[in-house]
Structure 1
Amino acid sequence: MPLNYEHQMTVLKDILSNHQTDCCGTVSECEQIERLVKSLMGNEQVESHVKNVLPSIYDYGQAGKYSADLDSHISAHQRQLSEWVDQLT
C-alpha cells in the first residue's frame, strides 16, 4: 500500500531531521529521499512553498547516494537540512 501525502511528508521530515541530528545516514535513506520527493512533486496537495524546496532536497539525496563519504556529505549540508525541516513543517 502506498504512503499517503501526510505519511510521505512525515517520513521525509524524519529522514532529514535524523540526518541533521545524527550527522550520518545510509544510501538507502538517500534513495528513499529521492523516491519521496519524486512522488511529492507530482502531488497536487503539496503547497507551492514546499514544492520550491523539493528539487534541492532531491539533489541532496542523489548526491548523497553517490557520495564516497556520506557522513561528510551530510555534515556539509547541516544548515540546509535545518532549513528544509523547518520549511516542510
Structure 2
Amino acid sequence: MPINSQDQVNLLKDILNNHQTDCCGSVAECEQLERLVKSLMINADVNNNVKDVLQEIYSYSQHGVNSTDLDQHIESHQQQLSEWVTNIDQFS
C-alpha cells in the first residue's frame, strides 16, 4: 500500500532531522531520500515552493550515495538540513 504525500513529507523530514541530529547516516537513507523526492516531485498536490527544496535535497542525497565519507558529507550540510526542514514545514 503506497503512502500518501503527507506521509512521504514526514518521512523525508524525519530522515533529514536524523542526519542533522546524529551527523551521520547511511547510503540506504540517501537512496530513500532520492525515492521520496522523486515521488513528491511528480505529485501535483505538492506546493511548487517545496519543489525547489526537493531538488536541493535530491542533489544532497545523490552526492551522499556517491560520497567516500558520508558522515563528512552530512556534517558539511548541517545548515542546509535545518533550512530544508524549516522550508518544508512552511509550505506543507
TM-score after normalising by structure 2: 0.94
CA shift for structure 1 position 12? 0.1
Are 1:64 and 2:64 matched, yes or no? yes
Gaps of 5+ in 2: none
CA shift for structure 1 position 55? 0.8
Give the length in aligned residue pairs. Answer: 89
Local SS of the residue matching 1:45 = coil
CA RMSD of aligned residues (A): 0.6
Are 1:76 and 2:88 matched, yes or no? no
Match of 1:8 in 2: 8
Residues in 1 aligned to 2:3 and 2:73: alpha-carbon distance in whole angstroms: 28
Local SS of the residue matching 2:46 = coil
Residues in 1 aligned to 2:86 and 2:18: alpha-carbon distance in whole angstroms: 13
Residues in 2 aligned to 1:49 and 1:43: alpha-carbon distance in whole angstroms: 13
Identity level (%): 62
CA shift for structure 1 position 39? 0.3
CA shift for structure 1 position 2? 1.2
Gaps of 5+ in 1: none
Local SS of the residue matching 2:74 = helix
Residues in 1 aligned to 2:70 and 2:52: alpha-carbon distance in whole angstroms: 25
Match of 1:52 in 2: 52
Greater alpha carbon shift after TM alignment, 7-16 vs 43-52 = 43-52
Residues in 1 aligned to 2:63 and 2:29: alpha-carbon distance in whole angstroms: 12
Match of 2:22 in 1: 22
Local SS of the residue matching 1:38 = helix
Local SS of the residue matching 1:56 = helix
